[in-house]
């Protein structure tokens, strides 16, 4: 009986070690996509190729990294690995934003033009819930979206096909940057709320005639739960990772536009701040200290980089608008 109990304990211990090893392996975040992967193989870069490739490569990396797509897993050990699921969700939100702008702006010459059918289908499939695991599963829909994006890229690269286009214009780029501003602003607020703060209501600021549906308090207490702060942190890392991939592609496709507006430095500043968000996290847990307290607060450090990146995005938007 004692020998049998010992075997059971050793078996459970071995299983724990195996699961723990898998957890560590599957928790490794993907590397930033190199700009060379986004370039066209032709001598002269094809406008739109880098951005489309960055979107494809980012989504494929999320689907094929160790452990695959983990957000919808319901079995051990991934069901306990919420940090990587948060990373995936943050990256997916950026993918959705860019895919939407490609469908509505980058691929259309004017407001009366028709949306590209492949981009329309890809954007629709990317918007399925990231936690769907039955029918249809997240992976299958996202893989279909990647296939449609590849079809669009192939059609765009075909000189005999005039239907698929990518228009690199300042006004189109500005539309995407507006989405980036909103995303980064939201992430920055959630990260800063890790210490809790009284926030003034500025919903109607700047317009004396503005109104809202129901009245709200002048100040509100905002605080991200201690149980969620690591999820917010890794969601932000995933979002910044995907956005970094896209900014490097934008630098290639919109090179002429940026040069004309003398805005190359502003874009490089955004890239530099986003690269800082991808530094290794040496702490085994995400600490949630209070402001200038004794314990570090990783969320406030991340919020600093995100806020600086957002400020650089705003500067770039202004440069593109001023002409």
Residue 166's pLDDT is what?
94
Give dist(CA 138, CA 127) in Å, integer: 9
3-state percent breakdown (helix, strand, coil) of the chain, nearest 5: 60, 5, 35
Beta bridge partners of 288: 297
Distance from C-alpha of 318 to C-alpha of 299, rounded to nearest angstrom? 28
DSSP string, 165-188: -----HHHHHHHHHHHHHHHHHHH
Tell me phi and psi for residue 27, to 5 degrees. Answer: -95, -5
For residues 50 and 38, is the Cβ–Cβ distance under 8 A?
yes
Dihedral sign for Cα atoms in the order 100, 254, 89, 273: negative
Q: Where are the beta strands (DSSP E) in the chain?
A: 197-200, 219-222
Give pLDDT, residue 213.
67
pLDDT of residue 42: 53
> pLDDT by residue for the chain (323 residues), tens digit each?
566 887 888 877 887 788 777 777 788 889 898 766 666 555 567 999 999 999 999 999 999 999 889 888 877 777 677 889 999 999 999 999 999 999 999 998 876 678 899 999 999 999 999 988 888 899 999 999 999 999 999 999 988 888 889 999 999 999 999 999 999 999 998 888 776 555 555 555 555 556 666 666 556 555 666 667 889 999 999 999 999 999 999 999 999 999 999 999 999 999 999 999 999 988 878 887 776 677 778 888 999 999 999 999 999 999 998 86
pLDDT at residue 251 in the model: 95
């Amino acid at each position: 009986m004692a020998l049998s109990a010992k075997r059971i304990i050793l078996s459970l211990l071995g299983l724990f070690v195996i699961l723990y090893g898998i957890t560590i392996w599957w928790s490794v975040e993907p590397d930033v996509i190199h700009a060379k992967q986004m370039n066209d193989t032709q001598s002269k870069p094809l406008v739109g190729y880098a951005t489309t490739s960055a979107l494809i490569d980012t989504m494929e990396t999320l689907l094929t990294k160790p452990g695959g797509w983990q957000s919808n897993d319901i079995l051990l050990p991934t069901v306990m690995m919420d940090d990587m699921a948060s990373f995936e969700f943050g990256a997916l939100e950026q993918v959705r934003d860019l895919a939407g702008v490609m469908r509505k702006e980058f691929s259309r010459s004017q407001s009366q033009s028709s949306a590209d059918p492949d981009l329309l289908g890809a954007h629709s499939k990317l918007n399925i819930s990231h936690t769907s695991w039955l029918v249809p599963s997240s992976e299958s829909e996202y893989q279909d979206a990647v296939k449609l994006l590849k079809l669009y890229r192939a059609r765009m690269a075909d000189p005999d096909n005039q239907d698929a286009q990518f228009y690199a214009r300042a006004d189109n780029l500005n539309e995407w940057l507006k989405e980036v501003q909103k995303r980064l602003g939201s992430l920055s607020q959630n990260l800063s709320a890790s210490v809790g703060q009284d926030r003034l209501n500025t919903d109607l600021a700047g317009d004396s005639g503005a109104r809202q549906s129901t009245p709200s308090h002048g100040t509100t207490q905002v605080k991200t739960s201690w149980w969620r702060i690591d999820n917010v942190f890794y969601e932000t890392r995933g979002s910044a990772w995907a956005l970094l991939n896209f900014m490097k592609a934008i630098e290639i496709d919109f090179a002429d536009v940026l040069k004309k507006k003398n805005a190359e430095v502003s874009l490089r500043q955004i890239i530099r701040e986003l690269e800082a968000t991808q530094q290794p996290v040496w702490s085994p847990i995400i600490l949630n200290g209070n402001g200038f307290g004794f314990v570090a607060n990783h969320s406030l450090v991340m919020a600093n980089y995100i806020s600086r990146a957002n400020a650089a995005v705003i500067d770039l938007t202004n440069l593109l608008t001023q002409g």
